Every structure is written in structure tokens, then in C-alpha cells.
Amino acid sequence: MASSRRARRLLAVSPPWARYLVGIVVSAAGTVTTLRADVGFSPWDVLHDGVSRRTQISFGQAVMAVSIIVVLGSWSVGIRPGIATLLNTFLMGWFDDRFLGTHIGANLGTQPVELRLFVLLTGIALIGVGAAIYIGAGLGAGPRDSMQLALSRRLQMGAGWSRAMVEGIALAIGWLLGGSAGIGTVVFVLAIGAAVGLAFTLLRVDPAGRRFPLDEASAI
């Protein structure tokens, strides 16, 4: 609890764009961590992998392509993207490719499955924290999070549950495209809702993407 209070105070006094970029980096690091675990990709990454395999583009480029489609689809139903949403469309994929290019953890697939599942859970936690940070910056959500937030508002459900629903839809499409899935995919679907919901709670971010007020961030 003490560490979460310190995190809230730090986020409260940080410039919004700094919080936003930190959130993007943390989310990308979490994504690559789940990929390195090599026990099955997350639902969105099954989709990205399927697009990458079918088109022979890099993983990060597939992330960008899917993001553009999601933004256009959301826009068509009245969810207008902001500058932060558009930046997320390209930054997330760019950072994914940069982290993958380091080859850190590239040989993790030869390690015991118990270790790889722990790495997967670590990546899921990072994704949840990253999403809460950049949404909490108050500059707008990412393409996928915009869809998540729209479901949360319209269906009157929590951020965690709406995130899980969006992940399930992405998984179905990715599987049809031939993306890689496995036991890790199931773990991700079961855990991502709780990870996002807990991160939103600890960092005091509501489903509407409210900023971190200094007085609330300093409270217990």
C-alpha cells in the first residue's frame, strides 16, 4: 500500500504527457514480456501474430495496422480519436519492435514452464499498470482502450470486465487468422481483467480515464 501511495503521488505531480509516455513504455514492456514467456500469446497478440504471418510485416507493424483499423471502426460509430489515441496507434507498435529487437529473454522458451508462466503473469501485471497510467494521464485512451471504455460506459460494467470482453473478441479473430495461441492465452484472458481492475483501483483511475488529483493521490 505504501508503494501504491508513492506511485500515486509521483503520478499526480508528473506532467500528463510524461505519464502518458511512461504508460506506453510500461505497456509495451509488458506485451513483449508475455511474448517472451512463450506459453501462448495474449488475445490481441494472437491477432497481431496472425496479421504478421499473413502479411510478412513485423510484429510492431501488425500492431500499428490493427490499431488503425480499430480507430477507424470506433470513429465510424461516433468515438472520435484524440491526439493521444493516434499517437498510441504508432508508439505502441514502435516500442514493441524496439523491445523485441533487444532479444532480451529470447531464449526463455527453453526454461521450465513454471518460470515461463510466472514471466507471463509479470507481463500481464505490467500491461495493467501501463494502461492505468496512460489512461489516467487524462489525454485519451489507446485504440483498444477506447473500445474497452465505450463498453464500460454503455454496458455499465467495470473496466476489467469490459477489457476481458474486448480481449475475447480479438482472440477469436486472431485464431481464425492463424495466430499463435496456447495455455498462456487462457491465463491471459482469465487474468487481464483482474490486473487492469486492480491497477485502476491502486492508481485511482476510473473507467472514464480521470486524471490523478494531487489530494486524492496523497490520500490513503
pLDDT digits (tens, 9 = 90+) for 174-219: 999 999 899 999 999 888 888 988 988 888 776 555 544 444 443 3
Task: Note whether 89 and 67 are within 8 A (CB).
Answer: yes
Task: Note whether 29 and 47 are within 8 A (CB).
Answer: no
Q: Is 14 helix (H, G, I), strand (E, B) or coil?
A: coil
DSSP symbols for 183-199: HHHHHHHHHHHHHHHHH
Whether residue 14 has pLDDT greater than 90? no
Q: What is this structure's pTM?
A: 0.79
Hey, where are the domains in the chain?
A: 2-217
Whether residue 83 has pLDDT greater than 80? yes
Q: Is 58 helix (H, G, I), strand (E, B) or coil?
A: coil
